[in-house]
Amino acid sequence: MSPVVSVTGLRKRYRRRDPWAVDGVTFEVEAGQAFGLLGPNGAGKTSVVKMIAGLMRPDGGSISLFGSNPGDPKARTELGFAPEDPDFPKFLRADEVLDYFASLLGLSDAERSRRVPETLAFAGLDAEKRQVRQFSKGMKQRLGIAQAILGRPKLLVLDEPTADLDPIGRRDVRALIERLKESGVAVLLNSHLLSEVERVCDTVAILARGKVLKEGTMAEVVPEGSNLEEVFVQLIEANQPQRDHLPSFISDTQAHE
């Protein structure tokens, strides 16, 4: 089976004097697979997914999205991307935002009229009549996921999808991922919530400072009797300088007591 997305030796840096934000990342995601991209803050996860979504140009390496370059708009026809901290035209309502994005996906009038209300209902925004500028972060995140699935994608990229969601929203996203996997959709999940990743992902890659430290199936990465969080912490701490966990003025206060 040919991979839905294939990333080879991907490199990116934002300024010449900066270190590589992404440094030689290689992985593949196949249809029906949920792939977790993990790493501490600044590991390069968002840079990787933005390059896959054609939002940024790599400085080295290559990406094949459905066999094409993600910079080609046609390659993104079957891609759904829910960005971290999503935002939308702030004077539009949720239904207008979805209709706008459905138009960008090239859906017909009839298909838009069918999909937009159903997607709004899924996101719990069907009764919402306010403009986006009055939305909470959680509502924007729901709308972000809604617009990502609107085009019935074959690859769904979720960048921190549950960060601002309540427990019900998290459960819905988990159920969505499971349902999509069953129907053959590939899911690329970028998340800090390791318990979530452990529950839904088949394969994970752990990144730090732009490099893949470990990659494999969940069984390969997480040994028997351990969990993903333990593996993650050990791996990251072994690959970066040790930090004092508390500032000295806090430690001093504790000592005085």
Give contact residues for other proteins (rule: CB under 8 A).
50, 53-57, 73-77, 79, 81, 83, 85-92, 96, 100-101, 103-106, 131, 144, 147, 151
Give the shortest CB-111-to-other proteins separation in angstroms.
13
| 3-class SS shares of the chain: helix, strand, coil, % to 5 | 40, 20, 40
Give the shortest CB-213-to-other proteins separation in angstroms.
26
Beta carbon nearer to other proteins, 53 or 180: 53
Q: Which of 216, 208, 200, 215 is nearest to 237 (CA)?
A: 208
Contact 246, 234 (CB under 8 A): no
197: burial class by Cβ within 10 Å (0-12, 13-18, 19+)? buried
CA 102 to chain centre: 21
Give the shortest CB-166-to-other proteins separation in angstroms.
20
Distance CA 9, CA 181 (A): 27
Alpha-carbon dihedral 46, 48, 52, 53, rounded to 10 degrees: 20
Give the shortest CB-56-to-other proteins separation in angstroms.
4
User: Which residues are within 8 A (CB) of 132 and not within 5 positions of it... i.e. 6 or more apart?
Assistant: 87, 88, 89, 90, 91, 92, 93, 94, 97, 140, 143
Beta carbon nearer to other proteins, 85 or 166: 85
Q: Which of 190, 224, 217 is nearest to 203 (CA)?
A: 217
Beta carbon nearer to other proteins, 150 or 231: 150
Give the shortest CB-222-to-other proteins separation in angstroms.
31
Beta carbon nearer to other proteins, 95 or 202: 95
Give the shortest CB-35-to-other proteins separation in angstroms.
18
Beta carbon nearer to other proteins, 143 or 180: 143
Beta carbon nearer to other proteins, 21 or 201: 21
